[in-house]
Structures are given as structure tokens and as C-alpha cells.
Amino acid sequence: MKKLLILFCMIFVVLFSSVTVSAEIGGTTLQIKSEAAVLLDSQTGAILYSKNSQERMYPASLTKIATAIYAIETGNLADSIVVSENAVNTEGTKVYLEPGETVTLHHLLQGMLINSGNDAAVAIAEYLNGDVETFSKEINKYLKEKVGISNTHLTNPSGLFEADHFTTAEDLAKITAYAQKNATFKEIFGTKELAWDGQTWDTTLITHHQMLKGEVPYPGVTGGKTGFVNESKQTLATTAENGDMKLIAILLKADFKRDIYSDTKDLFDYGFQNFKLTQLQDTNTYQVQDKVFKLSKPTLITEPLAGATFEVSEQGVLKIQSPEKQTFQEIQLDQVKKQLIDEPVADESPKKVPITSMSAFFGIVVVLAAGATISVMKKQKM
């Protein structure tokens, strides 16, 4: 009888441990020196790494990412803009515009993103909304409505320090992911150098981003923006691709340039070496108590190479998690009628199995095993 009880316990442990136990994510321990960081998959929205990602921080010139996509979507790239004296007198990095100089919106965007021209940023803001104050109100509204962020408040288009000008690493990653969907933004964001034919300044603009221009080599870098003011210290936004994966790294408040680039490389290594894209099929169903949910369409997810666990809330939110229950991605499922799960579905390809279905299956097996054990024990007594 003792042998039978031991056998039953072994069956129970093996079955239920297979639901939750999987390999650790590459055994990687990141030591990020920057005060805040986010690594985001731009295709799925999955946050693969975060450090103080929702803390309010000063973005410096990473602000220009938001200014650029707002201008591209609300302005006309071919419009000619007459530069004001107010724009020319803006502090900080410039493309040395002159009062009365006429420049297209497209060219100002190039000067703002590639050379981080604060004068170009103010000229863009005045073109879009008349003055910087009105611009600030409108871009904050735009970011909430279009990008869906709520922890960012911009008071100028360039990123010069103001106490009420803030964002978060997570919000910046989402803004960058949104902007990357626009071909014009992506092209300018990835430009390494450009001939600049200003009224009084003819030169070649070269990106300040050391990974983009190759001074800090990293394969697959597709774009980037630097930032610095005393209050924000070093800030950096970088995009990179490797095969099917497209990642965004946001680093805020590093003491030194070498640290912020080292952090960026470490984040990309971590993302590309430990994660993959997988497509969940819309034929999957997920049952939670008396509710049944499913995807509205086939959906890409980012999961650890070692495998992910899946958890569905009573509200139908599917969480893609590591074995340690770290959530990388959340997807809102659609509720369906319960009888739909009994309808035959064509098996088009291997599908991710919902954890609720797995638990039900193992539960049945355990009950059968228990029944068999009890039956044997009764026979021994007879």
C-alpha cells in the first residue's frame, strides 16, 4: 500500500509541476546603471525589461521624438515655414536658423532630429499652433488620445529643462513605438548624416547617436536620439532589429555616456538572446469559471525562448508571463458564448494551449489515477 501511495504522489507532482515550471530566462542578470530603463518590443508592445519605468523623469531632447511625430501627423511636410526671431533665440543646440528664413517642415524635422536643433523645434511648434504654450497644450492632448499615455506632460518642443516638463521611460518607449510606424519619422530617425543648406550655415549634419553612426558598434541599430541637460543627465532612445524582432531601448538619467551606451547594448543583447515572436491563433479559447474568451484575430506575442505561462483574468485579460510570474504583455480577449467551445474547429497549426485548459486536463488525469489507486487498495484488503 505504501508503494501505491508513493506512486500516486509522484504522479500528482509530475503532472502539476509541468504546468508552472520552466527554465529561467537565460539566467541573465542585468546590471543597468541608468536610473530608469525600458526595453519594449515595438511590434507587440511587450515590455521585456523595466527599471523605474513609471517614475517621472526629465527627458531632455528625447522630447523631440514626440514633437516630430505630432508635427508629421498634424502638419504638411511640404509647407514652407518662416522662422521667427523667437525660434532663432532659443537656447541650446541649433541648426543656426535666421529670422525670416524660409524652411520646409520636412527640413526642419531633419534639423531637429538629426542635429537636435532647438531652434528648429520652436519653429515647428510655432508653425503648428502659433506659440509654444498652445503647442504644449495640443501635444499633450495628442499624446493621450493617439498614443494612449497618461504620465507625460510637455511644456516645450525641445526638452529644455522646466520643472513641469516630464515623462517616463515607459511612456517614451510607447511614443517611439507609435512614431516608428510612420515611414517619414522612421527614415529621419535612422539618418546618420545629411547635407544642410541653411541660409547662413551650409554643413553636413551628423547624428549625435554613437551607436547609429558606428562609434559604438552594435549590429541592427536602425535609429536613435540623444539628450542631455544638467537636470536629466544623459538620456538615450535607440531602435534595433534582429531577424523578426524589433526592439526599442529607452535609458534615462545616466551619469556618463559610456554607461548609457553600455546599458543599451546590454538590453538589446538580453532581448534578442532570450525572446522570440510567436503567433497565437484566434481559434484558441480560454475558460475562466463560467466565462469563455478568445482572441478577436491572430495575435503576435513576445515570449521567452524557454517558454511562457499564460494567465487569464475574470475580465478576460490574457497575461503572457515568465515562469517567475513576470508579466511581459497583456491582451484583452473577447468574451464569447460558452457553447462555441463545443463547435468543431479546423486545426490549422500548432496552438498555444491555455493554462486553464491544461489544468482541467491534468485534473481529470489525477482523478482517474486516484480512482485506480483506491480500487487497488480495496482489492488488497479483500
Q: What is the pLDDT of residue 3?
A: 40
Q: What is the pLDDT of residue 28?
A: 61
Q: What is the pLDDT of residue 325?
A: 81
The full length of the chain comes to 382
Residues 232, 62: Cα–Cα separation, whole Å? 11
Least confident of 150-159, 192-201, 321-330, 337-346: 337-346
Are 114 and 205 contacting, i.e. CB atoms less than 8 angstroms apart? yes
Q: What is the pLDDT of residues 97-132, one digit of tens each?
A: 999 999 999 999 999 999 999 999 999 999 999 999
* pLDDT for residue 160 is more than 60: yes
Residue tagged 494567465 (cell numbers)? 311
Across all residues in the chain, what is the average pLDDT? 85
Short-list 319, 62, 288, CA closest to 170: 62
Q: Hey, which residues does 51 pair with through a beta bridge?
A: 37
Q: What is the pLDDT of residues 141-157, one digit of tens each?
A: 999 999 999 999 999 99
Neighbours of 305 (CB within 10 A): 12
Residues 150, 144: Cα–Cα separation, whole Å? 6
* pLDDT for residue 216 is more than 60: yes
Cα separation values, 184 from 45, 190, 194, 269, Å? 21, 10, 15, 28
Residues 52, 34: Cα–Cα separation, whole Å? 10
Side-chain half-sphere CA neighbours of 124 within 13 A:
35
Q: What is the pLDDT of residue 171?
A: 98
* pLDDT for residue 203 is more than 50: yes
CA–centroid distance for 311 within its chain:
21
Give the residue-averaged pLDDT of 323-327. Answer: 83
Q: What is the pLDDT of residue 27?
A: 54
Are 167 and 56 contacting, i.e. CB atoms less than 8 angstroms apart? yes
Residues 67, 84: Cα–Cα separation, whole Å? 18
Looking only at the bridges linking them, the beta strands covering 102-104 and 193-197 are: unpaired
Q: What is the pLDDT of residue 337?
A: 75
CATH homologous superfamily, domain 37-274: DD-peptidase/beta-lactamase superfamily (3.40.710.10)
% of the chain exceeding 70 in pLDDT: 81
Q: 277: phi > 0 → left, psi -120 to 50 → alpha, else beta; which?
A: beta
Residues 237, 7: Cα–Cα separation, whole Å? 56
Cβ-proximal residues to 189 (8 Å cutoff; 6+ apart), any chain: 65, 68, 113, 179, 180, 222, 223, 224, 225, 239
Residue 67: burial class (beta carbons within 10 Å; 0-12, 13-18, 19+): buried
Q: What is the pLDDT of residues 225-262, one digit of tens each?
A: 999 999 999 999 999 999 999 999 999 999 999 999 99
* Intervals of CATH 3.40.710.10 along the chain: 37-274
Q: What is the pLDDT of residue 353?
A: 37
- What DSSP string describes 174-188? HHHHHHHTSHHHHHH
Q: What is the pLDDT of residue 309?
A: 87
Are 355 and 310 contacting, i.e. CB atoms less than 8 angstroms apart? yes
Cα separation values, 71 from 125, 167, 325, Å? 8, 19, 40
* pLDDT for residue 368 is more than 90: no
Give the residue-averaged pLDDT of 199-211. Answer: 95
Residues 341, 364: Cα–Cα separation, whole Å? 18
Residue 14: burial class (beta carbons within 10 Å; 0-12, 13-18, 19+): exposed
Residues 94, 210: Cα–Cα separation, whole Å? 19
% of the chain exceeding 90 in pLDDT: 69
Q: What is the pLDDT of residue 285?
A: 84
Cβ-proximal residues to 11 (8 Å cutoff; 6+ apart), any chain: 365, 366, 369
Confidence band (pLDDT; 50, 70, 90) for 324? Answer: confident
